[in-house]
Amino acid sequence: MGLGIKDVSIQQQLKGRDFLTLADYNEEELLYLLQLATDMKNKHKSGKDEQPLTRKTLGMIFEKSSTRTRVSFESGIFQLGGSGLFLNANDIQIGRGEPIADTAKVLSGYLDGIMIRTFSQKVVEELAENASIPVINGLTDTYHPCQVLADLLTIQEIKGELTGVKLAYIGDGNNMAHSLMLGGAIMGMDIRIAAPIGYQPDTVITQQAKSIARLRGSKVEVTSSPQIAVDQADVVYTDVWASMGQEREQKIREQAFSRFQVNKELYTLAHKDAFFMHCLPAHRGEEVTEDVIDGKRSVVFQQAENRLHAQKALMTALMG
């Protein structure tokens, strides 16, 4: 990546930063990360990987299990020349009652960065407040910024741009909905969220996203109609109806979300070139039908692979 004066300036302002929510980053910074991710992906595909994080170590704290988050971060830091330490919450003192602040200060003396995948956003924020090294939010119940960074990369690869792209998200107003609203608004996308009453996104985060969108000349809308959301959308996105920790609500949610399945009939309302996205894992026959997720317009595996490249760019920018 040939760095100009502007790129060097952005590089300097990103170094040592935390990545807790996309709202902490502006369009210029996110575009830099996406370009860096694109460059790293191209070099990886051509066998010309660079290793800017040689001898750097990333601690990976997991209070929630994962496939994509663990493998993409662990593979990513290895490809960058560093190493990753898997830290199960039950195996370290944070899971036995040690104050988060103490854990943050201790780990700051051993590591060059921390990625944490947990339930509470407050835990991530307290960890970041007390750590002297970058903290990356691998997922909380409130936000999933790493996934959306990869999603933005995927949309950019397919559409060639992000500004003006219309994305419809159908389903639970959860961490994915929150991060898609924020990330999309920052990049000038139009975001429509369709969720049942009682399962719609957090109102404070929704207003924050709407305010950002107004400044960008775009729109963020929340509706209870999947048909209104999907109408002429460029991207149709969904997630599971019951996320980790909500398994006991499965049957109740199946009833509440019965009209919110992404199927062939709903999909026909989108733009003729619209493509389908899902953060995975997917429950075929629930939130999406097989003919959609396994159809020719589905990009879910390109999207999943891009977790690796987007996070390599993120780690390089923050820890390099």
Active-site residues, by number, are 117, 144, 147, 239, 279, 307
117 marked ligand binding residue: yes
307 marked ligand binding residue: yes
Cα separation values, 44 from 37, 50, 214, Å: 10, 8, 38
232 marked ligand binding residue: no
316 marked ligand binding residue: no
Q: Helix, strand, or coil here: 250?
A: helix
243 marked ligand binding residue: yes
147 marked ligand binding residue: yes
216 marked ligand binding residue: no
φ/ψ of 174, rounded to 5, equals -105, -160
CA dist 312 and 320 (Å) reads 11
User: Position of tokens 């929630």?
Assistant: 64
Q: Helix, strand, or coil here: 274?
A: coil
User: Position of tokens 């119940």?
Assistant: 141
179 marked ligand binding residue: no
DSSP string, 155-182: HHHHHS--TT-EEEEES--SHHHHHHHH
253 marked ligand binding residue: no
Q: State the CB neighbour count (10 A cutoff) for residue 214.
A: 12
259 marked ligand binding residue: no
225 marked ligand binding residue: no
68 marked ligand binding residue: yes
Measured torsion, CA atoms of residues 287, 173, 220, 227, in degrees rounded to the nearest 10 = 30
CA dist 48 and 5 (Å) reads 25
142 marked ligand binding residue: no
306 marked ligand binding residue: no
Q: Where are the alpha helices (DSSP H) in 187-276?
A: 203-216, 226-230, 250-256, 264-267
Specify whether the CB–CB gap between 176 and 205 falls below 8 A.
Answer: no
Binding residues for carbamoyl phosphate: 66-69, 93, 117, 144-147, 279-280, 307
Known binding-site positions for L-ornithine: 175, 239, 243-244
